Amino acid sequence: MDICIGGILNGKVRKNNENYFSIGNPHSDDVTEYYKQYFHLDGKLLSFWVCNEINFQEASR
């Protein structure tokens, strides 16, 4: 799935074969980091990009 959770890219799809990426905010000097996380849901393994500003429990809701 590769959907971003949290941060400036929340809800956007990002295709990337890496385990990590960062992106700058064009409106400020902030940099948001995303880490690839995998979740099991209904017998399927799904991948998401989770922003470093939220914790794993928030992302898994």
6-38 confidence digits (pLDDT tens)? 999 999 999 988 999 999 988 888 899 999 999
Is the overall model pTM greater than 0.85, yes or no?
no
Q: How many domains does the chain have?
A: 1
Q: Which residue do the tokens 């949290």 mark?
A: 6
Q: How far is 3 from 43, CA to CA, in rounded Å?
A: 19
Q: Which domain holds residue 15?
A: 3-59
Q: Encode 19-54: b = buried (16+ Cβ within 10 Å), e = exposed.
A: eeeebeeeeeeeebebebeeeeeeeeeeebbbbeee
Per-position DSSP letters for 11-43, written without gaps between them: T-B---SSSEEEEE-TTSS-EEEEEEEEEEETT
